[in-house]
Structure 1
Amino acid sequence: MPSETLSVVVTRRLPEPVERRMQELFDVRLREDDAPMTREDLAAAMQEADVLVPVITDRIDAGLIGQAGERLKLIANYGAGVDHIDVETARQRGILVSNTPGVLTDDTADMTMALMLSVTRRLPEGLAAMQSGDWRGWSPTAFLGGRIAGRRLGILGMGRIGQAVAHRAAAFGMQVHYHNRRRLRPEIEEETGATYWESLDQMVARMDVLSINCPHTPSTFHLMNARRLRLMKPEAVIVNTSRGEVIDENALTRMLRAGEIAGAGLDVYERGAEINPRLRELPNVVLLPHMGSATREARVEMGEKVIINIKTFEDGHRPPDQVVPAML
């Protein structure tokens, strides 16, 4: 790259310390409001910038990448997941892609446990009763939930976040099980106290709680499809803080409505913000607006990783968090 300051375009508002540091280091164009860029805005930005900083709601597909200008050499994603970016097409065009792994682990694992407790202990129903003024005092049979200690937790995807969930669940007295495309090393299994299941079907059929912690890839799309959801015990609970596309949301909604699955805690959805309206109506479902990484600490650390990736690239080196198709 030439020595002049890089032209950087950011697609959404970022935490103030991140935006301030970007202004100090780069020729950066920030958003004045937090509205998502239109496809036309994204195309224009990719035609004029050296570096694009998108977020997960920006779909950077082959068509957009094909319109990119000659200057665009790095897509420095603000977030760990890159399923919204056509990494292969970017590579073919000589455009590097980077992400921000590792900084969301603890916050997402915390939210996974929060959703488990919210569903099993019926927290939203208690909150609604208090907010409506309907609560008339303690009763021996009111708002009875279930204890999570002693329950079997199945973790689908045993990467950083899955392992962090395992540690937390063990502290709550849960029995931890997992399915992963590759079995963990024995020392990690021992450290997490997790039991490996080669067959996802067999694990799903025996769990009391199922936590989705795998990324969205072509091989994980609808991994929890209607057939596999029907394997779950009627008293089981499913929690997803990973990617909505991993679950067939319509099939899940039907089974929750029919009482074939006891409950669900969801932070992500198959069609982004377009949530199945029937899902919203169910009392045995806790829905959150993609809050898994929503801590000030995580969002600033994500920005710091973006800056390091851009600065390393500007200095003529490979971004430390470069993503290549073979990783996906």
Structure 2
Amino acid sequence: MPNDGSERLLQGSATETTYCNTWCQLKNSLGLTIVGFAALMHKGQPTHCLFTCSPCLLWENEGRHVGELRRISFCKNEAVMRTSGGLFTLSVSVDDDAIEFHPGALNVMAPVPRALVIKRTCMIYQKFEVAQRQDWCRSQTATTTYTVMEDWTMTPQSKRLEHLTGETNSRGIWDELVSYSGTPESAAPATPMHNLPPNLPPQLMTMLQPVDMTKAPHALVISRAAHVSEFSLTKDAIVTEQATFQSAWLPLPAELIPYEIEPLPELRKDHHGNLTTVEEGNKPVNGYILIKFEDCPDRFDASFIVQQILAEFDPEAGTH
């Protein structure tokens, strides 16, 4: 069979790319304008308005077209991809990374596998004032009665209560616990809660005010291997988006918690896997300490938005 050109085209192909800049586009536009003008003159049609306006219109249209082509070319070559929030559903994973809990001897006894975040929460049993107000309409007076209640809190309260000066709070071994725990190097500033209603009861104020979990004696450790698909997760994102990444806290297995801390002999492990100064079977007393260890395991889905942005200033297009 003769070897003709069609057979060679089936075996291979070649492409040629040409580029027409602004002057090229303008030249083509003016050429078409002259051809159209000549055609209309040949037919005897009025062309004064067309001849006057068409170059301006064509210049604007073709210039805009070239600008868009430049932007498209720039985005294809220099745009980057970033993640920020809620379009694709991806699985959060830490692979085979195992977090070792820091700092000091308050570590758990072994690295924790599959943990995205681990936290140590320290609580102290304290006294609070409870105010009950009764208004008397006829005499236009009000009577406020203050009573005492005790509950666990993450921050020690004032040594003496404001209206019940005979009632005092003990700090127990809290100061020794803070000194022994230290503060992690990656401590982040607490996020204050603004616009709290005035004159809140002390207990409610304490519950609403956020506690910095990165400061002793509390602790928060985040896996360095956290990622979704091929995108890494930053510590800032995990700390900021608590509803997404810190919503499923689970107690650490009791076997990972030490039975005692040598420099703090008052602490012992209870049957729940907590460290506490409360004797087994007894009720807590003012100043007693309770330490809980929890983690958020990986392998859960989260939603993200993929956003395309320009990496650098484009000198040709004059845009960012």
- Name the TM tier (shorter chain): under 0.3
Asked which structure has the greater RCO (Cα within 8 Å, sep 6+), the reply is 2
TM-score normalised to structure 1 length: 0.22
- Which structure shows the bigger proportion of residues in strand conformation? 2
Select the structure of larger CA radius of gyration.
2
- Which structure shows the bigger proportion of residues in helix conformation? 1
